[in-house]
Amino acid sequence: MNFNEFVTDLDGKRCVKCEKDAKFTGVDPKKAWYCQECFIQMVRNKFRSALSKKKIYKDADARETLIVFDGTPSGAFLLHQIDDALKQITYKRLMVKPTVLVLVSVTDPEKIQHVMDRVQDIKTALLENVDWIIAHVACCMYTEVKDFDNTKCNGTEKIPEYIEMLSACTVPTYREELKRIMREKCLQKISEALHISKCMVPDDADILGRLAIDQLCLGRGGSLSPIVTVLDKRNNFMLIRPLCDVSKKEVVIYNYLCGIDKHCIQIAGTNSEVKSVQSLTDSFIRTLEDEKFYSTINTVLSTASKIHNTTSGKDGSHCSLCFIESADDLCATCLAIRKTCTGDLINRFIQ
């Protein structure tokens, strides 16, 4: 990346931490500017703070965690933070026992092989002495617990079923939401197979902010908090989002400064150009950012974190498909998804 992409109007700017000449800013350039060293430390602190506030690893017997690497800049950032935290000497080490899950969603065999080759290179630089597992998101199609082989991309034999499942959903908005739900189902199945109850995902603030608006449009406004905050606790499974306070811009600058860009891989499939609530949300947020409403994502996430469902699922019942609190077997959104799906593949996700 070009350094000039990150530098704008630096005349007279001073680091808010040490008073050196400032070079970088986070989400809002009207507020805090940092020198290079303080910027790197600021982003690291956001990651560590998200985990320490919730005291996730206070139990010494439950430190095994699945670290999801999806090839994105945020995924590479997460790997680097875990690697750095385990090697930490100056500050307190992060007491976590990681297993890296490389989650693939491309379907072309040549691209999958390319991912496997690239992973071998990345393993020599980051988290070399931990277990790495490569799995396709199509693992969500398994109907029973499988043993995972760390020498291949697991789940590729289920890709035709995975494609058929998505194709069966006829409404683009619901198809995108089903894809998100299937990804979470995949993570849960893999965690169950590996007997690891915690799963750390590289969802940054920009992803979660857009997700919050998506879910509001889909009628899940009363259950936003567990979907977009640090912890999402489920039955014997916990999703952890340590990048919930880190913006995509901060990730990109950090990766550039620390030379992490080289660890990104094209793992995810290309997004469809078909209009959907998700694509309109993305366009809406981009327009606001272009018009210098820099705090949009922070405002959305701050509000979403305070929203809790006080009516549905008071007895602890959850939707069988997406797992949000629901008095019925399926929430209204998932019921609509089911109705738009042809065939009966959708039924294997409803337990």
Domains, in order of start, for the chain: 56-265+273-349 (3.40.50.620)
User: Residue 15 and residue 181: Cα distance in Å, rounded?
Assistant: 42
Asked if 146 and 127 touch (Cβ cutoff 8 Å), the reply is no
pLDDT score recorded for residue 1: 43
Mean pLDDT of 288-301: 88
Give the pLDDT confidence of 20-67 residue by residue, as tens digits. Answer: 888 888 877 777 889 999 999 999 999 988 888 777 777 665 788 999
Other C-beta atoms lying within 10 Å of the C-beta of residue 131? 14
Say which residue, 273 or 52, is predicted with more confidence: 52
Contacts of 182 (CB under 8 A, 6+ apart): 137, 140, 162, 165, 166, 349
Is the predicted pLDDT of residue 314 greater than 60, yes or no?
no
132-186 tens-digit pLDDT: 999 999 999 988 878 888 889 999 999 999 999 999 999 999 999 999 999 999 9
What's the burial of 324, exposed, middle or buried (CB within 10 Å: 0-12/13-18/19+)?
A: buried
Tokens representing 334? 């998932």
- C-alpha dihedral over 82, 84, 86, 89, to 10 degrees? -150
DSSP annotation string for 244-312: TT--HHHHHHHHHHHT-GGG----SPPPP-S--HHHHHHHHHHHHHHTT-TTHHHHHHHHHTT---SST
pLDDT more than 90, % of the chain: 48
Tell me the CA distances in angstroms from 312 to 67, 181, 221, 322, one per residue in order.
32, 20, 12, 14
- Give the per-residue pLDDT at 147: 85
- Which tokens in the block code for residue 306? 């305070």
43 touches 250 (CB < 8 A): yes
The Cα–Cα gap between 86 and 127 comes to: 9
pLDDT at 289 over 80: yes
What is the spatial distance between Cα 249 and Cα 212, in angstroms, rounded to a whole number?
19
| Contact residues for 290 (Cβ-Cβ < 8 A; gap 6+) | none
Instruction: List C-alpha distances in Å: 326 to 27, 194, 322.
Output: 35, 28, 10
Band of residue 273 on the pLDDT scale cut at 50, 70, 90: low
**Which of 12-16, 47-51, 255-259, 274-278 shows the lowest per-residue confidence on average (mean pLDDT)?**
12-16
pLDDT band at residue 293 under the 50/70/90 scheme: confident
pTM for this predicted structure: 0.90
Per-residue pLDDT for 311 more than 50? yes
User: Tell me, what amino acid is at 160?
Assistant: P
Quick one: tokens of 54? 């919730």
Q: pLDDT tens digits for 199-250?
A: 999 999 999 999 999 999 998 888 888 899 999 988 888 999 999 999 999 9
